[in-house]
Homo-oligomer: A and B are copies of this chain.
Amino acid sequence: MKKHNFGAGPCILPQEVFESASKAIIDFDNSGLSILEISHRSDAFVEVMETARSLALELLGLENRGYQALFLQGGASFQFVMVAYNLLEKKAGYLNTGRWANNAIIEASKFGEVVELGTSIDKGYNYIPEVTSVPNDLDYLHYTSNNTIAGTQMQHFPKGNAPIVIDMSSDIYSRDIDYSQFDLIYAGAQKNIGPAGATLVVIKEEILGKVSRVIPSIMDYRNLIDKKSMFNTPSTFSVYTSMLNLKWLKKQGGVSVMDKLNKEKANLLYEEIDRNPLFTAKVPNKNDRSTMNVAFQLNKKELESKFSTLYKEAGVHGIKGHRTVGGYRASLYNALPLSSVKVLVDVMRELEKTS
């Protein structure tokens, strides 16, 4: 039985993407070769990379607007370092909205001064803090648009007079917003882009070249742009499968269609959590709730094992909360169908009825 995969990442991708990727490992485009054994400098792979880069921009509405897309390695955690290396001359402003935002602050602090624009650490990151003022001497502002562990999501992005850098690892391509308000967007692929092993970075070129520090070649965005994301061997399979997934996304109608579907999925689940007396949402303020990661608690600890039995019988996978916070978390990434959410909601109702 195919599972209903609510895992937080690496996560579900469309079944047709799995099927095409699986085939390409045996024979890539009738070449007689596996996608794993072709040169990244071959015409065939260069086309894969260029298609992926181009779709990455197009689906964000950022083509021909001064942006470049790169498929790098090392995940968002490596971007915590690269962003600071490339942009932090003296001082940057970070909004501390979760564990990953906090890790970004820790790494950036190794390269310059970090001003916290706000924090929600006082309540276990269960809300989005207000930004009351933005200093005017910052090199950039840094936000985390969606907090995968806490289950919060930013709805608006305060501006200053500096470029906005944003970690969108867990909600890029999931919602219809104006992506051009950001100057640098980064995201680990393993949620809505593709398999783990690739990291998408979308950069407005004009923000680069303003720090005095000597930058290692492989960490220098200008060099990576110049080399069309092929300074060295990329994570070829992850880029290929990301391309397949971005093509799927385009075929579905792009982010506006996903936005609608994701809101529908999230509303259905939050409504059940709010209605069902056995459950409580971890994020009290509805405006701060993530459409991607729905964090909730079971109010009666003694029902845990019954809940677990019921949801496993229904094929529900991956709803345990992050190891650092416990509870439950249902992730509703683009490829998760509405029908899977209905199955989970039915299980929650079943638990209520029989308890």
Chain A residues proximal to chain B, CB less than 8 Å: 1-3, 5, 7-13, 18-19, 21-23, 25-26, 31-34, 36-41, 73-78, 80-81, 103, 106-107, 110, 188, 190, 195-198, 214, 216-219, 231-238, 241, 315, 317-318, 323
Contact = CB atoms under 8 A, between A and B. Distances in A.
Contacts of A233: 9-10, 75, 188, 190, 196
A7 B75 contact: no
A167 to B, nearest CB: 13
Contact of A11 (B37, B78, B197): B37
8 contacts: A3-B33, A36-B196, A41-B323, A77-B218, A103-B217, A196-B235, A197-B234, A235-B235
A319 to B, nearest CB: 12
Given A37-B10, A235-B73, A110 B318 contact: no
A5 B33 contact: yes
Given A32-B317, A103-B217, 7 more contacts: A7-B37, A21-B25, A22-B25, A73-B73, A75-B233, A76-B232, A197-B235
A195 B75 contact: no
B73 A32 contact: no
B77 A197 contact: no
A18 to B, nearest CB: 5
A79 to B, nearest CB: 10
Given A8-B39, A36-B18, A232 B77 contact: yes
Contacts of A236: 10, 190, 195-197
B36 A10 contact: yes
A189 to B, nearest CB: 9
Nearest to A11: B37
Contacts of A5: 33, 37
A81 B219 contact: yes
Contact of A216 (B25, B107, B318): B107
Contacts of A195: 36, 236-237
Nearest to A317: B33
